Amino acid sequence: MFIQTEAMPDPARLRFLPGREVLAEGTLDLHKTAEVTASPLAERLFAIPGITGISFDRDSIIVTKACGDWQHLKPVILGAIMEHFMSGAPVLRGNTGDHGQASSHPTDGAIERIREALRQVIDPELGYNIVDLGLVYDVAIENDGVVRIIMTTTTPGCPATTYLREGAGASVGVLQDVKLVDVELTYDPRWTPEMMSPEAKAHFGIRDGGRW
């Protein structure tokens, strides 16, 4: 999943563009109160120290901070947003007819099959699968049987880059109805341990803040 960011006139606010629908229509402003229980995504973001406000609109998430440096907060926020959308959870709980994403999509099952296949690819340095390490940023399926994968490695110039890229392509290429796999490498955003799944973090003993 590839998430872009945009600076805003107010330095305490930063816009995140996940490249997919956030709300079906309108906008929604949330503050750190009981109301955030209506949004699993808001709960994840407000769990990050220093975050005081969140705004959703059709294709973006605006985060407001009270303290902290964006240089340190940004990777944690990116990891939380990525983890939410990869989980398939809705932006809003309950009725999403007016706001939020649909709970299912025709390609959801196929995407999950691809992600399961990618879990067979193990990073040789860390000994853990590339999906739960957070190295797979996005998976998309096109109508002609083409699967496009955006992924990264733990560091630019990683000696296992070719192995991981070819492994991702090979693991998905054997799936039924897949005619071509296009694997794109990116280092924007740079990978951090905060992008790992909760299971991977527990496996490596990572505490809050991404500390090993």
pLDDT digits (tens, 9 = 90+) for 33-75: 545 677 888 888 988 888 888 889 889 999 988 877 888 889 9
In this structure, what are the phi and psi dihedrals at residue 141, rounded to the nearest 5 degrees?
-115, 130
- What pLDDT sits at residue 106? 45
Dist CA 40 CA 210 (whole Å) = 21
110 class by beta-carbon count within 10 Å (0-12 exposed, 13-18 middle, 19+ buried): middle
Average pLDDT score over residue span 87-108: 56
Q: Where are the alpha helices (DSSP H) in 58-194?
A: 70-87, 108-118, 161-173
| Average pLDDT along the chain | 84
Average pLDDT score over residue span 102-117: 68
Q: Is the bond preceding 189 in cis, omega lying within 30 degrees of 0?
A: yes
Structural domains in the chain, CATH included, are 4-87 (3.30.1370.70), 108-204 (3.30.300.130)
Split at pLDDT 50, 70, 90, the class of 31 is: confident
Q: Is pLDDT above 50 for 97?
A: no
Q: Could you read off the pLDDT of 121-171 as tens digits, one per residue?
A: 999 999 999 999 999 988 888 877 899 999 999 999 999 999 999 999 999
87 vs 59, higher pLDDT: 59
Query: Quick one: which of 70, 56, 64, 74 has its CA closest to 20?
Result: 56
Give the whole-number percent of the chain exceeding pLDDT 90: 36
Dist CA 116 CA 94 (whole Å) = 28
